[in-house]
Structure formats: C-alpha cells, structure tokens
Amino acid sequence: MTPVVVRRPGPNGSPAAIAFHTALAVLAALALAGALFAVQGADPLAAYAALFSEAFGTMRGFGFSLVRATPLALIALGTVVAWRSGFGYLGFEGCFMVGAAAATAAALASAEGRMLAPLPSWLALALAMLASFAAGGAWAGLVGLVRTRLGANEVLVSLMTNYVGLLGVQYLISGPMRAPGGLPQSERVPSDVWLPFVIPGSRAHAGILLTVAAAGLVWFLLRRTPLGYELIVAGLNPAAARYGGIEVGRRVLLASVLAGGLGALAGMAELLGVQHRLVDGMGGGVGFTGVVVALLARLNPLAVVPLAVLYGGMTVGADAMQRGAGIPSSIAAILQSLIVLLILASERLRYYRLNPSLFRLGRDRAGAAPGRPAGP
C-alpha cells in the first residue's frame, strides 16, 4: 500500500509551513482546553471570550495583565539571552528570589533614618534595581563559571540553585530581615521607592516600561552588535565560533550574568511594583512559566513582550473566571503549556509531507518512487 505521508530529508522550513503548523498546534491546544470547559458545562467559545475580555477588555483587567506579564517577560528575556548563547539556564526561580531580596535590602536601606535615606527617591530606586541586577548576575554567573571552568552541566546545577535561592530568602525573612510581628516577612519598603503606577485606575506599574526597554536592549544586543553576534554564534555552533576567533567560554559567562540579572529584575519588579515586602513563595512558578514564554517566542526578544502580556492575561482572565463561573483558574496553565508542547510536537510534523505519488494517479509509478537525481 502506498503510504499517505512520506518523510522529507529535512524539516520544511518555509515560513508558510512554520505558520501553518504553529497555527495547527495553537488550534489543537485551544480545542483540548476547550474540551475541559465543555466538560464543566461551559460553552467553550463563550468561555474563551470571557477569558480574554476580562484580561484585555477593561483598563483594570489589562493593567493586571501587564502586572502579570512583567516578571514573565523579564525572565523570558533572560532565557533568550542564556539559551541563545548555548547556556541552558533553568535557575530563574532562584534568580527571581535573589533579585527580590536584593531589591528589598536596597530599598529598606533608604527608609527613614537608614544609611541611604538622604538619597533622592529616584536614585534609591535606581540603586535598588542595580543591586538586584548585580545580585542576580552574580548568582547565575556562578553557574556560568561552574560550567565554563569545571565543565559541569548547567541545566542540573541551575535547577539545584533554585532551591538554594528559595531557602536563602526563607532564611532572610525568618531571621535577619524579619519584620516585627507573627509572619515571616520583611518590613514593607518605603512607598517612595515603589515602582510608580503608570495607568490611572489600574495596578500596572513602571515595571512594564522597564520590560519593554529591556526587550529592545536585548534585541539590539543580539541583532545589532558584534558582541551579540558572538553570543549567537557561540550558542549555535561552538566549534565554528572558536574557529572564527570567538572566545566561547567568556561569551557564555557573559550570557549567564546578563540572564541572571534579567531574572533578578523580574523579582525586583514584583517586589517594588506589587508585593512591596519580601515574602516566601512570591514567585509561584514564574521562573518556569517565563521560560515557557521564551520558548513560545522562539527565543525572539521582540516577540517576548506581547506573548508575555498574552500569557499574563490568560492568568488574569482565568482567575476572574474562577471567581465568577467557578471554572478553575489553573486552566490557564494548561493552555499555556499545551500550546508550547504542541508547537514542539508540530516541528516533528514538518519532517513529513503528503506522499506526492498519491496525487499522480498511477501515472509513472515506477519513476515516481526514488526521486533522486541521477548519478554522474
């Protein structure tokens, strides 16, 4: 029997094929999650409409979507820098907490009567950002060092550092940074170093502006500078990079520092924009969802921000649906991950095509099969 699909020598890389298969994957994910709506007695189309109208239909909801998008996007940008440079960093949960802790420490130091109190508040805020970036950079840079100097696998090491980071923050808020009172949490940071709210009538804070700027900078670094070029070549093909005179180890180390810094800024934004005090578990898995956003963006920094807003919006909409219709909010996570999983699976589909001999209707059967050029 003639097979219906045949294997291609390589994946079909045409933009049309990629778009087609991606759309197919997204539709399949929407259909699967829609089935979950249907099981709960909700009309899937109406449910999707409600989900997205909550997230993007009102200024207040959109503001929440931006708030959720900010740490996702910063972590996704960190992922872009690291993974593009061939550094498989997965330690963003830890980075997030380290960045939040460093921002807390710097912000608290500017409170009444403390060391940095004389500084103007914008400078204190800038200092908190810088401290956060530096702490995260050092945190992830250590993993980079362990990889480039000792040849250790950065994936496993960075996964382990997550827990060291989480536990470290737990220690800080139950010990040195603990505020008076029953709960293990830090003092509230003074309100003049909060990230200012940017949309009246919503919770959206300046973190989203920082995120847009960071996306632009990452794009510029990777696409417009010789340094970014070296990072990308080192990531794609270390042998070719060395051949081209690129010092791969140094570039990977740099990427690890930048990625850690971006991941830490996510924690800073959540702290100075939303929580305003260091508490345990404030990340809530954002370190991994951010990586998922980066994957969805195909590691393209410019696609990161809109997709992070979309993913943040899904969470916001799902939360609202849980309050209203009683549909569990975790459906957002299902949708978010299914889309990426199915896109991954669809990449394998691009290795196949419909068997062309099916369309030749028996004509030239013998000659149709090999399809190879003749020998010399």
Partner 1 sequence: MPPPWSNERASDKDRSNLAVNPQGPPFLEMRGIVKRFPGVLANNGVTLAVGHGEIHALLGENGAGKSTLMQILYGFHQRDAGDILIEGRPARIESPKQAIALGIGMVHQEFMLVHSMTVVENAVLGLNLSIRRLLDLKRAAAALQALSDRHGLAVDPHAVVGHLPVGAQQRVEIIKLLYRDVRLLILDEPTAVLTPQEKDGLFAVLRRLARDGRSVVIVTHKLHEIMEVADRVTVMRDGRVAASVRTSETSPRGLARLMVGRDVALRADKQAVARGPAVLRVENLAARDAAGETRLHGLSLDLHAGEILGIAGVDGNGQAQLAQALMQLCPVTSGRVWIGGQDVTRLSPAGRRAAGMAYVPADRRHVGSVAELSMIDNAALGTQARRARAGGLIRDEGADRGFAKALAARFSVRAAHLGQPAGTLSGGNLQKLVLGREMMREPAILIVEQPTRGLDAGAVEAVWGELLAARAGGMAVLLISADLEEILNLADRIAVMSGGRIAGTLPAAHASAERLGLMMAGAPAPDAQPLAAVEASA
Partner 2 sequence: MGAGHWLGSAFLATWLAASVRLSGPVLLAALGEIFAERSGVLNVGIEGTILLGALASYLAAYASGDVWLALLAGAAGGVLSGVLLAWMYVTIRASQVVAGIVFNVLAVGLAGTLYRLALGASAAPQTVAMFEPLRFPLLSGLPVLGPVLFSHAAPLYLAFALVPAAHFVLFRTGFGLALRAAGENPKAADNAGISVARMRYAGTLISGTAAGMSGGYVVLAEVGLFRETIVSGQGFIALAIVILGRWRPWTAALAAVAFGAADALQLSLQLFGAGLPPQLLLSLPYVLTILAISGLFGRSAAQPAALMQPYAPR
User: For partner 2, which residue of 345, 354, 358, 369 counts as binding (CB under 8 A)?
Assistant: 345
Residue 92 CA: distances (Å) to CA of 5, 59, 142, 185, 258: 41, 30, 14, 21, 12
Q: Which is nearer to partner 2, 154 or 230 (CB)?
A: 154
d(CA 256, CA 238): 16
Residue 36 CA: distances (Å) to CA of 24, 31, 33: 19, 9, 5
User: For partner 2, which residue of 153, 244, 247, 358 counts as binding (CB under 8 A)?
Assistant: 153
User: For partner 2, which residue of 103, 108, 234, 332 counts as binding (CB under 8 A)?
Assistant: 332
Nearest distance in Å: CB 236, partner 1: 5
Site membership for partner 1, residue 366 (CB under 8 A): no
Q: What is the DSSP string of 333-371?
A: HHHHHHHHHHHHHHHHHTTEEE-GGGGGTTTTHHHHTT-
d(CA 266, CA 264): 5
Site membership for partner 1, residue 244 (CB under 8 A): yes
Site membership for partner 1, residue 15 (CB under 8 A): no
φ and ψ of 22, to 5 deg:
-65, -45
Site for partner 1 in 207-226 (CB under 8 A): 224-226
What length does the chain have?
Answer: 376
Tell me the residue type at 195.
L
Nearest distance in Å: CB 248, partner 1: 10
User: For partner 2, which residue of 27, 43, 115, 163 counts as binding (CB under 8 A)?
Assistant: 163
Site membership for partner 2, residue 31 (CB under 8 A): no
Nearest distance in Å: CB 86, partner 1: 12
Site membership for partner 1, residue 369 (CB under 8 A): no
User: For partner 1, which residue of 243, 330, 344, 353 counts as binding (CB under 8 A)?
Assistant: 243
Residue 77 CA: distances (Å) to CA of 3, 120, 223, 284: 43, 30, 14, 18
Query: Do residues 141 and 262 touch, judged by C-beta distance below 8 A?
Result: no
Binding site for partner 2 (CB under 8 A): 36, 39-40, 88, 90, 146, 150-153, 155-157, 159-164, 167-168, 170-171, 174-175, 285, 288-289, 291-292, 295, 322, 326-338, 340-341, 344-345, 347-348
